Amino acid sequence: MNLSNPSTPLLTRLGISVPVIQAPMAGTSTPALAAAVSNAGGLGSLGMGATTVEGARAMILETRALTSKPFNVNLFVHAPATADAQREARWLAYLAPEFARFGAEPPTALREIYKSAADDDAMLAMLVEERPAVVSFHFGLPEPHIVKGLHDAGIVLLASATSLDEAMQIERAGIDAIVAQGIEAGGHRGVFDPRQPDEGLGTLALVRVLVRHTHLPVIAAGGIMDGAGIAAVLALGAQAAQLGTAFVASPESAADAAYRANIANPAARTTLITSISGRPARGIDNRLAELGRAPERPPFPDYPIAYDAGKALHAAAKAQGNHDYAPHWAGQAVRLSRAMPAAELVATLMREVAQAVS
């Protein structure tokens, strides 16, 4: 590949000119962010994991009003949660003193706040109607009829892998490309089964192994914040780079002031993985993360049941002006964050790619 002029079969397939995919980041991405990235030649993404079918449709329409370029709609396809009243009660009892700090009561019960799209025919029908150019899957793979339905509508499909085994499952499912998510990545790890041991493959090792041992195009994710990082993963044989944390500080993201301040704060830039949502996710260390890593904590409820409690606690704290319980997801290279409009960031990244290999 000519790294100074990276045009890859995948980019042609996706209908984009620049090997940059903005990570979906449910709750932080916006139609404005996705459209800005797509208009700049990359692939903007909408994170629908926490959204209803009609909410997802509205975001697609809003994005389409801002760009005629391709963009990506990301779905969570986790195995449905198993409710466990006893485990959930223990978890709420564990968090109760934290709620009390803010004069609040924990919820009396926890709900499965997100529906998995793995078998969601209403979501499928909406997507077939709206036909976004690209749909991506996180936390596993959907039922075969979802893959077939989206493919029949001409939609290109991506899925996240954190291991060679997951990548081979993606290949067998007929997905078009793999998002190789290394341990550096911020937010939720795409592991298919969080109960299985996780080797925690770094982006460099994972991308190279998947390029060598699968037949699908690979998109690298995790720790990539600038053009040098993009050039590096292209050298590994990735056909594009997916960046999340790099776009959090863009004015088009939905990040609140506290999240932006934390991303920009050198003292806050240690990240770690906890399962405070019920699934492993990397964020900036804070009181929420501390609750998730305390040795004496009870077992986590299933994802996303545990997240219902975490979100309630964050809301109680935020109402009192305390932001130390926010899920401020960020990757390991957050220190390299730059606050600039998304289009300017994409242009800067591509200048830097050229410099990195000149």
Bond into 80 cis (ω within 30): no
Give every CB contact of residue 296 below 8 A, 6+ residues apart in sequence.
Answer: none
- Asked if residue 262 lies in contact with residue 241, where contact means CB atoms within 8 angstroms, the answer is no
Residue (37 or 234) nearer to a second copy, CB: 234
Query: Applying CB under 8 A, does 205 fall inside the site for a second copy?
Result: yes
Residues 317-356 touching a second copy, rule: CB under 8 A, are 331-333, 335-336, 356
Which of 224, 243, 326, 330 is in the footprint of a second copy by CB under 8 A?
A: 224
User: Cβ 221 to a second copy, closest distance in Å?
Assistant: 11
**DSSP letter for each residue of 252-316:** TS---HHHHHHHH-GGG--EEEE-TTSS-EEEE-SHHHHHHH-TTPPPPPPTTHHHHHHHHHHHH
Q: How many chain residues interact with a second copy (CB under 8 A)? A: 45
Q: What is the CA radius of gyration of the chain?
A: 19
Stretch that binds a second copy, among 30-38, 71-79, 230-238, 307-315 (CB under 8 A): 230-238
Residue (35 or 284) nearer to a second copy, CB: 284
Query: Applying CB under 8 A, does 358 fall inside the site for a second copy?
Result: yes
Rounded (10°) angle between helices 121-130 and 144-152: 10
Which of 127, 170, 232, 317 is in the footprint of a second copy by CB under 8 A?
A: 232
User: Cβ 286 to a second copy, closest distance in Å?
Assistant: 14
**DSSP letter for each residue of 155-217:** -EEEEEESSHHHHHHHHHTT-SEEEEE-TT--EE---S-TTS------HHHHHHHHHHH-SS-
Rounded (10°) angle between helices 53-66 and 31-39: 40
Query: Applying CB under 8 A, does 23 fall inside the site for a second copy?
Result: no
Which of 6, 44, 229, 278 is in the footprint of a second copy by CB under 8 A?
A: 229
Dihedral class, residue 242 (left if φ above 0, else alpha if ψ from -120 to 50, else beta) = beta
Which of 138, 188, 189, 208 is in the footprint of a second copy by CB under 8 A?
A: 208
Residue (164 or 173) nearer to a second copy, CB: 164
Phi, psi of 159 (to 5 degrees): -145, 145
Stretch that binds a second copy, among 52-60, 143-151, 222-230, 338-346 (CB under 8 A): 222-230
The 162-191 site mask, x for binding a second copy (CB under 8 A), equals --x-----------------xxx-------
Query: Applying CB under 8 A, does 302 fall inside the site for a second copy?
Result: no
Applying CB under 8 A, the residues found at the interface with a second copy are 2-3, 164, 182-184, 197, 199-206, 208-209, 211-213, 222-226, 228-229, 231-237, 270-272, 331-333, 335-336, 356-358
